[in-house]
Structure 1
């Protein structure tokens, strides 16, 4: 497995793949890899001739400096995990390689996809995501790029960015990988105790309950019922919302929506967890 740290090395790798007429799959990560990341890489391997994974903790998508500081970094372990599943290459750039001397987000028109849910609670987050993903896709030039549906709002934004900048990479969403409890796999879970991991199952349980019962409630009443469930738990609910997959607009009437997805963010032992589930 090759490890690249510069754009020039990436260019040489891409030229080699392209000269062979082969396809290239790409998985963007911020490291601290888990089974969910490996599932993305393995799907890429099954659908492409070559697969490359990036590991880069992107500073411009953190609105909270403390969150950036505490984000787990396990580069050596991550490289070993990717090598074990025979990924072809890893891109491990520095902040300077990605941003130069000015570490800031571009201003990209996200057509309102960044409004609500994470956009409301993490100002500037999606501009940072859009900026770094655009740069990674331009540098790596993959045939296909794979992103988990756990960050569904982010996935919609990345598809938009690839389209408006004509990046010629197919963006593929991959189903969220979960523990038997239903808890979504996340790098942030490394910061949770065993007890907290167990208590955090309320996130998935509440989403599944909403899916099974949403027609019995109007959207606002269903939100209130979920808020009550969390009030009786150890987690601190940050938000629960329902949005349409097509335009990410919040839903106030089930019949007006083309599709329905529930979004939840909550704090567990001070660690911020997010998840979502398609309801209809």
Structure 2
């Protein structure tokens, strides 16, 4: 479906007074993505699923090169939905080079965790999400809570853009062994795949420690436990405020979250937990 065909379909839907949902993805769809699409399809008359590996949010060229691209199987995964349109644009369609970029203030949400370690990543996210919002003009947009920092930034974008988009956060979908579903899981070696569920295991165990031992001791414990597993290396583990994403020193039930990035061989995985 071309950009013009999408616009025509959206014009028809709007003419009928239909509600439109948007599920932005980078393709390589898994059951986590499908859960977002299923919810969107239930809550809207028409759903647009974007399938676009956005080059501007990769600070590592090798990561961009190796990111899974599975358009044929993505089409098959969505075939059972009667009210879903798959939009797989080209780079030229999304970045024709003739737009005036809208500026957004996402500080300090982008200064920590992923933002601190992946320079330019969130500016790329801002670029593509704001363009999709302008193009589709959805009533609702659906994002997974695994990328929680991204979710909070997208909520800020939606507020500043002023298009009336409701940003819906959806719970993390996990494999049977607890590993958060991710397109990157397909890149794990057998040994890495066997070790990766330990990330979730230790996050869950840390819930029983934070009230008694405090934030810093809990953070150190999680890092030591994960690093103690062969093949796992913590890039960061931050315990932060759930709204501002800034690090905290005191535990506040219901307002404190843990955020982790772990290298599993050459693959980088993220996860989070509510305390």
SS of corresponding position for 2:191: helix
8 Å contact from structure 1 (residues 130, 161) kept in 2:
yes
SS of corresponding position for 1:54: strand
8 Å contact from structure 2 (residues 31, 181) kept in 1:
yes
SS of corresponding position for 1:142: coil
Map of 1:117-196 to 2, 5 A cutoff?
Answer: 117-196=113-192
Distance in 1 between residues matched to 2:209 and 2:27, nearest whole Å: 37
Change (3 A) 1:238 1:88: same
Change (3 A) 1:199 1:103: farther
Match of residue 219, structure 1, among 215, 234, 259:
215
| 1:80-103 Cα deviation digits (max 9, x unpaired) | 111134452111111111111489
Change (3 A) 1:117 1:219: same
Query: Displacement of 1:26 after TM fit?
Result: 1.0
Q: Does residue 2 of structure 2 align to residue 5 of structure 1?
A: yes
8 Å contact from structure 2 (residues 104, 160) kept in 1:
no
8 Å contact from structure 1 (residues 181, 198) kept in 2:
no
Map of 1:109-124 to 2, 5 A cutoff?
Answer: 109-124=105-120
Q: Does residue 265 of structure 2 align to residue 269 of structure 1?
A: yes
Distance in 1 between residues matched to 2:112 and 2:91, nearest whole Å: 29
Change (3 A) 1:221 1:169: same
Alpha-carbon RMSD across the aligned residues, in angstroms, is: 1.8
Match of residue 229, structure 1, among 225, 229, 232:
225
Partner of 2:246: 249
Distance in 1 between residues matched to 2:118 and 2:108, nearest whole Å: 15
Change (3 A) 1:265 1:93: same
Partner of 1:80: 76
Partner of 1:24: 20
Partner of 1:47: 43
* Structure 2 unaligned regions, length at least 5: none
Partner of 1:65: 61
| 1:190-213 Cα deviation digits (max 9, x unpaired) | 101333222101111121112222
Distance in 2 between residues matched to 1:137 and 1:21, nearest whole Å: 18
Q: TM-score, normalised by structure 1?
A: 0.93
Change (3 A) 1:196 1:74: same
Partner of 1:95: 91
Distance in 2 between residues matched to 1:229 and 1:104, nearest whole Å: 48
SS of corresponding position for 2:78: helix
SS of corresponding position for 2:174: coil
Query: Displacement of 1:266 after TM fit?
Result: 0.4
* Structure 1 unaligned regions, length at least 5: none
Query: Displacement of 1:105 after TM fit?
Result: 8.0
Partner of 2:195: 199
Q: TM-score, normalised by structure 2?
A: 0.95
